[in-house]
Chain A
């Protein structure tokens, strides 16, 4: 009886102690919310150093891209306490700042000596500032990303293909300098047999549900001369969104989709693009830079077989690319804001940013990307730098979701379903966007 009592007491004490310990560790743990993708795994690895240094445990809530916006915007809108830190998409910045979801970081940056001038300018504007181009910071640039291209370097190097290309187009089969050249290459490969297998020209974004087709179309339209608004009169879109140059750009994107994509690629985004490239289906592949480390390491298509290039130029020589990437913010509903700020302070240090890059995270710190050895550190590093130098982003207004859904519909209807003309699609887009801004009282 005595021994039973001892065992019971021991168990009860152990249980009480473990419960108390769990309580302590839970109180200290931070939860970081982000998308479920390769860089998130790198961040988990990186954050182990933070825990080792501070004793603060890190928990992660990663959601697949297709549900990422729905899930976390719902969480923020309902003032949920799930996330202490969030790496939110660049377009959320306006809504999250105006609706009070993010903690404003200006005072914190001043106190800790974190200078925004230490980060790549485009990422500061894209991920941190609201209103844009004003010194109001809501995030620390966390992951630089941009749309660029990968291509099959081994196919380009085949003498028989080079000869056939030269015969047809009168120039070498090489990285395209313009979008017109890119289309020639895609057409050349479409339906061609390479290594005994039928291959296709290019994988481009066509996804309808979230943001895919808009990211792809915009990536091309910018270099054709598309402008969101009159630079001198904000929100005036007539003649800018639907300018003749924009129409040409949209027609080009549709032509590229019609001529040169694999069959059935009508709802393709990041994942589908990676699949089509890795399976050896396509010669060219449009995707965000975050995919490059994975493709470089791939056993089938990586190493010497893959090459990278930034967006080629449009008809007038203009070169621009769609910005991706995100900043890291402290959620204003979190009870652990001090610890969350401690994480941001740690994340902003040069050593951590260097390790972030080495693990596969695209650092936005100038000290990292402007380091003389950076360009040669990875085969895609120079392309990343070139692409980040020409970025442009979609609307980051609080109504970005409505603006995005309108463009998703208009672009998909025209590019994939072939309904109407490019001019009608862009005129319709001006109408939709005007309606959104009128509802917001901005027009």
Chain B
């Protein structure tokens, strides 16, 4: 980097832009002592200066609440009792959560939901990506159409799917009735205990499969053509090429998509809340709905903080293990 001559900076561009002119004006307006101070900073210090606001923001809205939540999780604090003395109760909240049947049922519901949504989204998403990658006529148009659900707000999606599932006026129930012959009034997607979990899985799959498809498509497009050409020379069948080239080379991308969707679906709230509100009964009450009820309906702030920490540790731990496996797959 060329040192500037001492004194005021000199503009060398014969046609300075507005930005250059502004910077020059700012430099001229900077008091000499301050300019000298800034000039004396190391690159590392300047870097810190630039990232400091972000770090401060992160500390304020992420780290501080996390530490506070950890502290609250050891107390009996309730946000709706501001005048009550807050007692330290040790690990009681954690003990109650981990021995509570309802908590485990909510965790099982969450696991069921995460498993099926990921499985369906990966299978359909990868298939769609594989087809789109064939570059047939109009593939760009179809790619855009497929991506539309992902661009919608979950609130909008939840509300209109609720109408689609309506037993008396819903389009979804009408279509199912048309093909199966079952009366629409018997297709109770959101009211039937067995169908309600699947109604959420269907909507989530409809909305987020394009996202998985997009990541898989990036993976498929990253495979160099010469590998397929070499396979053709070796007279490898399409099936063989798929199993030996396409799938292994796209696997890190698929795994990445699974990771993203897994984390997202573990904390799924909006869709479940809008479609079923956790019902009928508690059949679709995923962990995040239980957490919301404990925190903002029962106002058990200490208890819900402990629950949030347990969920955080679970997601963080599982994600870490998964990332290690992902790295191993990538290095192969």
Which residues in A have some Cβ–Cβ distance to B below 8 Å? 70, 73-74, 77, 79, 95, 98-100, 208-209, 262-267, 398, 401-402, 404-405, 409, 412-414, 416-419, 439
Contact = CB atoms under 8 A, between A and B. Distances in A.
**Residue of B190, B193, B281 contacting most chain A CB atoms (<10 Å):** B281
A410 to B, nearest CB: 9
B83 A99 contact: yes
Given A95-B81, A263-B185, 15 more contacts: A73-B299, A77-B79, A77-B80, A77-B82, A77-B299, A263-B167, A263-B168, A263-B186, A264-B168, A264-B190, A266-B280, A267-B277, A413-B281, A417-B283, A439-B76
Interface stretch (B39-47, B210-218, B233-241, B290-298): B290-298
Nearest to A412: B281
26 contacts: A70-B297, A77-B82, A99-B80, A100-B83, A209-B277, A209-B278, A262-B168, A263-B168, A264-B191, A266-B188, A266-B191, A266-B279, A267-B191, A398-B80, A398-B81, A402-B299, A405-B297, A409-B281, A409-B282, A412-B279, A413-B281, A416-B191, A416-B279, A417-B279, A417-B280, A418-B281
Contacts of B193: 417-419
Nearest to B186: A263
A401 B81 CA distance: 12
Interface in B262-309: 276-283, 293, 296-300
Contacts of A79: 82
Contacts of B281: 208, 409, 412-414, 416-419
Contacts of A73: 80, 299
A287 to B, nearest CB: 20
A208 to B, nearest CB: 4
A301 to B, nearest CB: 17
Contacts of A266: 188, 190-191, 279-280
B204 interface: no
A208 B282 CA distance: 9
> Nearest 10 CB-CB pairs, A to B?
A417-B281, A266-B191, A413-B281, A263-B167, A263-B185, A264-B167, A208-B279, A402-B298, A416-B280, A417-B280
Contacts of A401: 80, 297-299
A73 to B, nearest CB: 6
Contacts of A95: 80-81
Interface of B: 76, 79-83, 102, 166-168, 185-186, 188, 190-191, 193, 276-283, 293, 296-300
B96 to A, nearest CB: 10
Contacts of B185: 263
A80 to B, nearest CB: 12
Binding site secondary structure of chain B: loop
A243 B189 CA distance: 35
Nearest to A265: B191
Contacts of A98: 83
A202 B193 CA distance: 21
A181 to B, nearest CB: 26
B182 to A, nearest CB: 12
Contacts of A263: 167-168, 185-186, 188, 191
Contacts of B299: 73, 77, 401-402
Contacts of A413: 281-282
A74 B280 CA distance: 27
B21 to A, nearest CB: 31
A87 B78 CA distance: 23
A100 B167 CA distance: 47
A25 B188 CA distance: 54
Contacts of A265: 191
Contacts of A398: 80-81
A209 to B, nearest CB: 5
A79 B81 CA distance: 11
Contacts of B276: 267
A247 B188 CA distance: 27
Contacts of A77: 79-80, 82, 299
B292 to A, nearest CB: 10
A405 B168 contact: no
**Residue of A95, A99, A264 contacting most chain B CB atoms (<10 Å):** A264
A267 B279 contact: yes
B168 A208 contact: no
Contacts of B278: 208-209
A267 B190 contact: yes
Nearest to B293: A405
A417 B282 contact: yes
Given A209-B277, A263-B188, A402-B298, A99 B166 contact: no
A409 B101 CA distance: 14
A264 B166 contact: yes
Nearest to A79: B82
Nearest to B289: A209
A79 B167 CA distance: 44
A95 to B, nearest CB: 6
Contacts of A417: 193, 279-283
A77 B83 CA distance: 10
A264 B192 CA distance: 8
Nearest to A411: B281
Contacts of B76: 439
A198 B191 CA distance: 20
A439 B81 CA distance: 13
A99 B81 contact: yes
B241 to A, nearest CB: 49
Contacts of A70: 296-297
Nearest to A279: B168
A376 to B, nearest CB: 39
B211 to A, nearest CB: 28
A209 B79 CA distance: 20
A263 B169 CA distance: 11
Contacts of B81: 95, 99, 398
A353 B279 CA distance: 41
B281 to A, nearest CB: 3
B157 to A, nearest CB: 18
